[in-house]
């Protein structure tokens, strides 16, 4: 016993231990209840109580100053009001969580003094200085699990370190002794939402080269044997071709598939900008902007025409399935709604409602039951009969073309509770969960029961979102303890 030493709170106790009183086990408290008409009593439950460790010691004090220095040093070591690690040299791999208890004695004598120290051990246990770790892995049933081996003699808390290797909505931990859950089992990773998506966006004349010449759906079966030209950044009519009525050049494009892979649009905005301006009254010309449906027929159009040769009068005719719905009359001069820098027009469809914009005025009409998809766009510039380009409307151009599809389905990646790389620490002793070092008590679901690992083996299984692939990396930790 003379060789036995101790440390408290990481500092050596400057004493020679002469006697050490450690309980075989912590005191046991039994609660009983007497039962009427029966001898004795019934045991309700038993529980270990706090314990104490008593040390008898001696010190050498050849000088009176030795005692005063000893008292000051010991008061600095022992006078702490929180639990400290108490370690004895005969069990360096174990510690007690202790605090000094009651009055400490020091019998001062010449050359040698003796005393007694009493430590309170609230949990009555000796703890391992080292933690044991247990890595989880997928078992033959496809469930992540680990087996915790506790070679101590007391149940101990289990802590968990979890690294998410993918987004994850929840963490579940279960054994025969209880279950814990953080987050929601039914949390989704992805869902289908809707957005608007621009499928066509021509901003200069060369962009229109993506369209096919000589094709398209028009309000009538006009000859499409004309050719195109460019005027600065505008698309113009190069040659009107020939025909007894209206004839000219056309371009058509089939709408590309959206990002979800669907072709066609129930809801859309088809928009362009034109310049339609005469230089002399006798000039004539025709401009068409047509949305075709999924069956290759006319769905909606804006038809701008000047056919009069004696008055400077033009009109925009707005049609749905070749039926006129609205008309806008205007004088196509340099001040008109279609002069340079103006000329914005569009066709919009939302469900069975159509909206046309021309001359800054919106026109709306509902066609019940019309559920056709838009599938193509056609533009056309033309002249009548044999009038040729010499009597063509002086400025008859397209500037840009935009087609926006609305209500496009897309897969939305829902930001989940735990992101890829998030570190989760579950403190079994404190019964708390931390995410990246921050306490997140709100993650804990009602009914969570923190369980301990009793002596022997405990199988623990882990659960997480199905979409969390690759799976989280999980490690369980215990610190063994002895009564």
Amino acid 189: pLDDT: 62
Task: Please report the DSSP string for 360-391 in residue order.
Answer: TEEEEEE-TT--PPEEEEEEEEEEETT-TGGG
**Cβ(472)–Cβ(165) under 8 Å?**
yes
- Measured over all CA atoms, what is the biggest interatomic distance in the chain, rounded to whole angstroms? 137
Which strand ranges, in their side-by-side order, compose the sheet holding 432-435? 132-135, 473-478, 159-163, 423-427, 432-435, 438-439
Per-residue pLDDT of the chain (483 residues; tens, 9 = 90+): 458 999 999 999 999 999 998 877 777 788 888 877 777 788 777 777 889 999 999 988 887 788 888 888 888 898 888 999 999 999 999 999 999 998 888 888 888 889 999 999 999 999 999 999 999 999 999 999 999 999 999 999 999 999 999 999 999 999 999 999 998 887 666 666 778 899 999 999 999 999 999 999 999 999 999 999 999 999 999 999 999 999 999 999 999 998 888 899 999 999 999 999 999 999 999 999 999 999 999 999 999 999 999 999 999 999 999 999 999 999 999 999 999 999 999 999 988 999 999 999 999 999 999 989 999 999 999 999 999 888 999 999 999 999 999 987 766 666 788 999 999 999 999 999 999 999 999 999 989 999 999 999 999 999 999 889 999 999 999 999 998
C-alpha distance from residue 110 to each of 59, 60, 64, 67, 143 (Å) = 11, 9, 9, 10, 71
pTM of the shown model: 0.57
Q: CA 165 from chain center: how many Å?
A: 14
Domains of the chain: 6-127 (2.40.30.200), 132-189+415-482 (2.60.120.860), 201-403 (2.60.120.200)
Contacts 24+ apart (CB under 8 A), 77-84: 77/8, 77/9, 77/11, 77/13, 78/8, 78/104, 78/117, 80/9, 83/122, 84/8, 84/9, 84/10
């Amino acid at each position: 016993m003379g060789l036995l030493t101790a440390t408290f709170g990481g500092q050596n106790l400057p004493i020679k231990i002469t006697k050490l009183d450690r309980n075989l086990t912590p005191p046991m408290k039994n609660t009983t209840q007497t039962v009427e008409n029966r001898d004795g009593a019934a045991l309700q439950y038993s529980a270990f109580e706090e314990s104490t460790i008593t040390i008898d010691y001696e010190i050498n004090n050849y000088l009176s100053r030795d005692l005063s220095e000893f008292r000051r040093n010991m008061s600095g070591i022992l006078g702490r009001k929180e639990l400290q690690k108490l370690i004895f040299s005969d069990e360096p791999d174990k510690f007690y969580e202790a605090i000094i208890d009651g009055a400490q004695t020091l019998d001062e004598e010449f050359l040698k003094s003796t005393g007694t120290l009493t430590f309170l051990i609230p949990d009555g246990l000796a703890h391992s200085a080292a933690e044991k770790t247990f890595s989880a892995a997928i078992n033959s049933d496809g469930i992540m699990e680990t087996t915790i081996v506790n070679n101590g003699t007391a149940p101990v808390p289990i802590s968990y370190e979890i690294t998410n290797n993918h987004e994850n909505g929840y963490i579940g931990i279960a054994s025969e002794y209880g279950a814990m859950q953080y987050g929601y089992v039914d949390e989704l990773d992805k869902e289908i939402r809707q957005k608007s998506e621009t499928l066509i966006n021509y901003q200069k004349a060369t962009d229109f080269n993506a369209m096919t010449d000589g094709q398209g759906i028009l309000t009538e079966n006009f000859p499409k044997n004309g050719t195109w030209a460019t005027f600065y950044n505008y698309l113009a009519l190069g040659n009107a071709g020939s025909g007894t009525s209206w004839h000219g050049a056309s371009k058509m494009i089939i709408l590309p598939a959206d990002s979800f892979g669907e072709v066609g649009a129930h809801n859309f905005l088809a928009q362009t900008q034109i310049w339609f301006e005469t230089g002399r009254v006798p000039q004539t010309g025709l401009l068409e902007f047509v949305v075709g449906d999924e069956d290759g027929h006319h769905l909606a159009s804006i038809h701008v025409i000047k056919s009069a040769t004696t008055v400077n009068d033009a009109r925009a005719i707005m049609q749905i399935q070749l039926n006129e719905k609205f008309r806008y009359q205007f004088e196509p001069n340099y001040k008109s709604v279609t002069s340079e820098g103006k000329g914005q027009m569009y066709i919009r469809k939302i469900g069975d409602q159509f909206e046309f914009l021309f001359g800054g005025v919106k026109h709306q009409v509902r066609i019940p039951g019309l559920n056709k998809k838009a599938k193509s766009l056609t533009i056309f510039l033309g002249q009548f009969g044999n009038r040729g380009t010499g009597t063509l409307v002086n400025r008859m151009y397209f500037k840009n073309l935009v087609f926006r599809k609305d209500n496009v389905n897309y897969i939305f990646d829902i930001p989940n509770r735990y992101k890829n790389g998030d570190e989760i620490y579950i403190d079994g002793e404190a019964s708390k969960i931390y995410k990246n070092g921050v306490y997140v008590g709100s993650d804990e679901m009602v009914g969570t029961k923190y369980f301990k690992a009793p002596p022997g083996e405990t199988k623990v299984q882990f659960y997480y979102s199905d979409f969390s692939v690759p799976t989280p990396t999980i490690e369980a930790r215990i610190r063994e303890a002895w009564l």
